[in-house]
């Protein structure tokens, strides 16, 4: 789960990381009155879950109230890479001499946290990592002991951070690691950490992504989830508890188990179709869950046909068949043609129950996918 910049900054500030004065606003008038209060110049920053906000016109500097009003009018309501900007952060602009990058994440290859510092801050750090990996100093941390102060100092010195601020940067990194750990974050980053002409450091941005599997330990953070930031269908999937990703094709795909669902997507593509979504109903799904899955995919107007691919282990074919029947019997006319392939636990019982006036039953995975692709082409 990704927090907005203003939310992450609040968490960072509470932990003692220096941040510029700032407030959130959702109207133009509020932006101007906050800017007056903070004093010019200010930065007006779109609060949406996309990278590269600055380049896309989502961050503007304002020197006076007219500019603040203009910036607010430009940014509030704008479409930023598919997301509508509903909130902006109004923040004191920092007069800086240098921009650093400081981050903590999980190195999955090593199975250990890694702390990172770079003097190439203020730019896309993924690009730096790719083009000039040596520009980022890294230190792996033993998750059982946490980060020792010497490790924070080491990575700061390795990065070549100016001695005048090294101690403060190490202190920010230590706090950031402690936050990463205590909040069950997957990533905690500051980019840029600005160095002022007085040799002070200030977090001018804040990234805090939380491991969704650990949200049960952090009800305060779970409350910060911004459903408005999600695609309408993805928000609905969240409510139903499905792993769901919307894609740009027209063959709806429902299955059990991430690997099998991905494979079904790949096969749709292989047979010349275009997947409309990834929907994993998970393990042990009962009839109601199956009906919810169909409801989800039918709600996507881009979908022309649906392939339902179940290989039961923990999931029972008869339960799935019951769910499909119940869901489809509610319609006078079923909105999209549905192809079902059932295998594994209780698959024979399931195929027996399935109402084949409502769905097309196929024996094999390949057969089911080809049939769904054909239907999608016909119904286009």
CA distances from 362 to 307, 309, 373, 380 (A): 10, 10, 13, 22
Closest separation in Å from C-beta 248 to another protein: 9
Quick one: 193 exposed, middle or buried, by C-beta within 10 A (0-12, 13-18, 19+)?
buried
Count of alpha carbons within 13 Å of 34, Cβ hemisphere only?
A: 23
Contact track, another protein, 177-216, x by CB under 8 A: ----x--x-x------------------------x-xx-x
Q: Which of 118, 345, 360, 370 binds another protein (CB under 8 A)?
A: 345
CA-to-CA distance for 88 and 59, rounded, in angstroms?
A: 9
- When binding is defined by CB under 8 A, the residue of 16, 39, 77, 143 that contacts another protein is 143
Residue 73 marked ligand-binding: no
* 108 sits near another protein (criterion: CB under 8 A): yes
Interface region with another protein, contact rule CB under 8 A, candidates 23-31, 101-109, 188-196, 349-357: 101-109
Distant-in-sequence contacts of 33-39, Cβ < 8 A, 24+ apart: 34/90, 35/62, 35/65, 35/68, 35/90, 36/65, 38/90, 38/91, 38/92, 39/92
Residue 101 annotated in active site: yes
Radius of gyration of the CA atoms of the chain, in A: 25
Q: Please, what is the minimum distance in Å from the beta carbon of residue 206 to another protein?
A: 20
Residues between 284 and 343 that touch another protein (CB under 8 A): 284, 311-314, 343
Q: Count CB-CB contacts under 10 A for residue 150.
A: 10
Least distance between another protein and beta carbon 195 (Å): 28
> What whole-number distance in Å separates Cα of residue 252 and Cα of residue 247?
9
Q: Is 24 in contact with 88 (CB distance < 8 Å)?
A: yes
Q: Tell me whether residue 270 or residue 331 sits nearer to another protein (CB atom).
A: 270
Least distance CB 44 / another protein (angstroms): 26
Q: Choose the binding region for another protein from 70-78, 138-146, 150-158, 326-334 (rule: CB under 8 A).
A: 138-146
Which region, judged by CB under 8 A, interacts with another protein, from 34-42, 262-270, 298-306, 322-330? 262-270
DSSP assignment string, 166-183: HHHHHHHHHHHHHHHHHT
Residue for token pair 């004065």: 21
The answer to whether 120 and 135 are in contact (CB under 8 A) is: yes
Q: Interface with another protein includes 134 (CB under 8 A)?
A: no
Q: Does 217 bind another protein (CB under 8 A)?
A: yes
CA gap 256, 343 in Å, rounded = 11
Catalytic pick from 6, 83, 101, 375? 101
* Residue 275 makes contact with another protein by CB under 8 A: yes
- Binding-site positions for Mg(2+) read 191, 205
The residues annotated as belonging to the active site are 101, 189
Q: Which residues bind another protein (CB under 8 A)?
A: 106, 108-109, 111-113, 126, 129-130, 142-144, 181, 184, 186, 211, 213-214, 216-217, 243, 245, 247, 255-263, 265-270, 275, 278, 280, 283-284, 311-314, 343-345, 365-366
């Amino acid at each position: 789960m990704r927090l907005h910049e203003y939310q992450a900054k609040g968490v960072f500030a509470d932990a003692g990381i220096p941040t510029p004065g700032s407030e959130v606003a959702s109207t133009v008038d509020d932006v101007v009155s906050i800017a007056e209060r903070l004093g010019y110049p200010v930065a007006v920053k779109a609060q949406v879950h996309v990278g590269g906000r600055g380049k896309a016109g989502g961050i503007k500097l304002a020197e006076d109230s007219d500019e603040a009003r203009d910036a607010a009018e430009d940014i509030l309501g704008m479409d930023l890479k598919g997301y509508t900007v509903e909130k902006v952060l109004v923040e004191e602009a920092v007069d800086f001499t240098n921009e650093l990058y400081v981050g903590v994440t999980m190195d999955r290859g090593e199975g250990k946290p890694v702390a990172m510092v770079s003097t190439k801050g203020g730019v896309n750090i993924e690009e730096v990592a790719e083009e000039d990996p040596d520009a980022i100093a890294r230190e792996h941390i033993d998750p059982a002991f946490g980060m020792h102060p010497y490790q924070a100092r080491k990575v700061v010195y390795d990065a070549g951070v100016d001695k005048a601020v090294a101690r403060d940067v190490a202190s920010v990194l230590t706090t950031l690691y402690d936050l990463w750990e205590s909040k069950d974050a997957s990533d905690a980053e500051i980019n840029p950490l600005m160095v002022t002409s007085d040799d002070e450091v200030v977090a001018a941005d804040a990234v805090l992504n939380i491991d969704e599997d650990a949200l049960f330990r952090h009800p305060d953070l779970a409350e910060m989830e911004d459903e408005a930031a999600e695609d309408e269908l993805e928000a609905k999937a969240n409510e139903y508890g499905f792993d769901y990703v919307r894609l740009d094709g027209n063959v709806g795909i429902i299955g059990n188990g991430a690997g099998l669902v991905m494979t079904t997507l790949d096969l749709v593509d292989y047979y010349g179709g275009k997947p409309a979504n990834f929907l994993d109903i998970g393990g042990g799904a009962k009839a109601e869950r199956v009906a919810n899955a169909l409801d989800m995919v039918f709600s996507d107007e881009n979908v022309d046909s649906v392939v339902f691919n179940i290989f039961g282990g923990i999931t029972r074919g008869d339960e799935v068949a019951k769910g499909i029947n119940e869901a489809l019997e509610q319609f006078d006319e079923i909105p999209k043609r549905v192809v079902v392939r059932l295998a594994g636990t209780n698959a024979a019982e399931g195929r027996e129950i399935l109402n084949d006036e409502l769905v097309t039953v196929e024996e094999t995975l390949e057969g089911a996918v080809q049939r769904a692709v054909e239907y999608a082409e016909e119904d286009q």
